[in-house]
């Protein structure tokens, strides 16, 4: 798990917060790959859900977005391994005061609105290993935007 967060050295700069998954070895075990496929499907499905609701000009809450990611993970057979919310607000504080993508711990019924910045980071954790894939997203011009060059699509190998 590579989790990186940083911002420019200015009190008004916004954080970037990403997580990528790596494996020490050239061959990723099937169990690890299967879990990676589930978390990336949940991440991408959550982003697509938010984007779809925005394109339909329908409001979407943080709780609804989290529920969509959880639905995908549960459908993949991983219900018992979901241990945290799908995302958090991001601003000049790493875990910002904006809407969180959470339907369980602290259900957030606030809407994701124009100017919102937040993470989308579903994770799964077994007794043997865990993983999370994280992207930063924001709403601009009524559309969901993903920051950076693109989400992780393949497990890094070392």
Say what the pLDDT of residue 95 is: 85
Q: What are phi and psi of 137, to 5 degrees?
A: -135, 155
pLDDT along the chain (158 residues), means of 10: 92 92 95 98 98 98 98 98 97 88 97 97 96 97 95 96
Say what the pLDDT of residue 88 is: 96
Pairing of strands 117-120, 22-23: unpaired
> What does the DSSP 8-state code read for residue 155?
-
Quote the crossing angle between the two packed helices 62-75 and 30-55, to the nearest 10°. 150
| Number of helices followed by number of strands (H, E) in the chain | 2, 9
Task: Return d(Cα 158, Cα 154) in angstroms, integer.
Answer: 13
Task: Return d(Cα 60, Cα 137) in angstroms, integer.
Answer: 14
Say what the pLDDT of residue 11 is: 86
Say what the pLDDT of residue 54 is: 98
Say what the pLDDT of residue 119 is: 97
């Amino acid at each position: 798990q590579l989790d990186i967060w940083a911002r420019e050295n200015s009190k008004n700069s916004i954080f970037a917060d990403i997580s990528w998954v790596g494996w020490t070895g050239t061959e990723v075990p099937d169990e690890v790959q299967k879990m990676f496929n589930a978390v990336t499907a949940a991440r991408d499905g959550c982003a697509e859900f938010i984007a779809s609701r925005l394109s339909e000009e329908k409001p979407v809450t943080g709780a609804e977005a989290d529920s969509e990611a959880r639905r995908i993970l549960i459908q993949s057979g991983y219900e018992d391994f979901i241990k945290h919310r799908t995302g958090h607000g991001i601003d000049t504080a790493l875990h910002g005061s904006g809407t969180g993508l959470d339907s369980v711990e602290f259900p957030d019924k606030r809407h994701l609105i124009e100017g919102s910045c937040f993470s989308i980071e579903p994770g799964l954790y077994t007794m043997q290993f865990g993983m999370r894939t994280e992207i930063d997203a924001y709403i601009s011009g009524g559309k969901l935007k993903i920051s950076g060059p693109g989400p992780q699509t393949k497990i890094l190998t070392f």
